[in-house]
C-alpha cells in the first residue's frame, strides 16, 4: 500500500516515521517531567514509548530488515542503502535493550542487587542520547531508501 508522505515509501514505513518522530518528542517531554521531579509521570511516559517501540520494531522494522537487508549483507555492505539500515538496526537493538533494562531496574524489583545501577541519571541520559542517535539514523535510512532513489 502506497504511503501518505509523497515519497517512495509504503504505508508502514510512513506510519513508522511519523510514530517514531512523535515518540522522540514524547521522550523529550518525559525527560522534562523528570527534571520537574514528576517521577511517576516520567516513568509512565518513557515506559509507554519503549513498549510502543517494541511493537513498531516487531511490525515494521524487524520484518523489513530481514527481507530487505539481511539477504544482501555479506555482498554489498558498501552500499549506503544497506549501511544506513545496518548501523541503525544495531544501535536500535542496543537502545531498545538498554531501555528495557532501565525499566526493569527503575520500575520493578525483579533484578538482584548486583545487577541494579545506582546512578539513575547517568543511565537515563545515556539512553536518551542513544535513542536520539537511533532516531536520526532511522530518518537517514528513510531518506536513503525512499527519498534519494526517487529524485
Contacts with ligand HEM by CB under 6 A lie at 13, 16-17, 20, 53, 57, 60-62, 64-65, 69, 85, 88-89, 92-93, 95-96, 131, 134-135, 138-139, 141-142, 145
Q: How far is the CB of 106 from ligand HEM (least distance, A)?
A: 17
Q: To the nearest whole angstrom, how small is the minimum distance from the Cβ of residue 137 to ligand HEM?
A: 8
Under 8 Å CB-to-CB from 130, ≥6 apart: which residues?
91, 94, 95, 98
Q: How far is the CB of 37 from ligand HEM (least distance, A)?
A: 26
Q: Which is nearer to ligand HEM, 124 or 142 (CB)?
A: 142
Nearest distance in Å: CB 70, ligand HEM: 9
Closest CB 112 distance from ligand HEM, rounded Å: 27
State the Cα–Cα distance between residues 148 and 151, nearest whole angstrom. 6
DSSP 46: H
Q: Give 30 or 138: the residue with its C-beta nearer to ligand HEM.
A: 138
Sign of CA dihedral 54, 60, 61, 66: positive
In the complex with ligand HEM, the residue whose CB is nearer, 34 or 142, is 142
**47 beta partners:** none
Residue showing the smallest CB distance to ligand HEM in the complex: 138
Rounded to 5°, angle at Cα 128 from 122 and 129: 90
When the beta carbons of 45 and 60 are compared against ligand HEM, the nearer one is 60
Which is closer to ligand HEM, CB of 34 or CB of 91?
91
Q: Which residues are registered as beta bridge partners of 10? A: 2
CB atoms within 10 A of CB 40: 8
The DSSP secondary-structure symbol of 71 reads G
Amino acid at each position: 500500500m502506497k504511503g501518505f508522505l509523497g515519497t517512495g515509501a509504503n504505508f508502514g514505513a510512513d506510519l513508522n516515521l511519523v510514530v517514531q518522530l512523535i515518540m522522540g518528542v514524547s521522550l523529550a517531554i518525559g525527560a522534562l517531567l523528570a527534571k520537574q521531579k514528576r517521577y511517576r509521570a516520567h516513568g509512565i511516559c518513557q515506559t509507554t514509548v519503549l513498549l510502543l517501540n517494541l511493537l513498531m520494531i516487531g511490525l515494521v522494522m524487524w520484518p523489513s530488515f530481514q527481507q530487505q537487508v539481511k539477504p544482501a549483507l555479506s555482498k554489498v555492505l558498501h552500499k549506503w542503502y544497506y549501511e544506513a539500515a545496518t548501523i541503525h538496526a544495531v544501535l536500535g537493538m542496543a537502545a531498545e535493550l538498554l531501555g528495557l533494562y532501565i525499566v526493569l531496574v527503575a520500575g520493578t524489583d525483579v533484578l538482584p542487587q548486583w545487577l541494579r545501577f545506582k546512578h539513575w541519571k547517568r543511565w537515563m541520559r545515556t539512553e536518551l542520547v542513544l535513542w536520539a542517535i537511533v532516531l536520526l539514523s532511522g530518518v537517514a535510512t528513510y531518506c536513503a531508501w525512499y527519498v534519494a532513489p526517487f529524485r
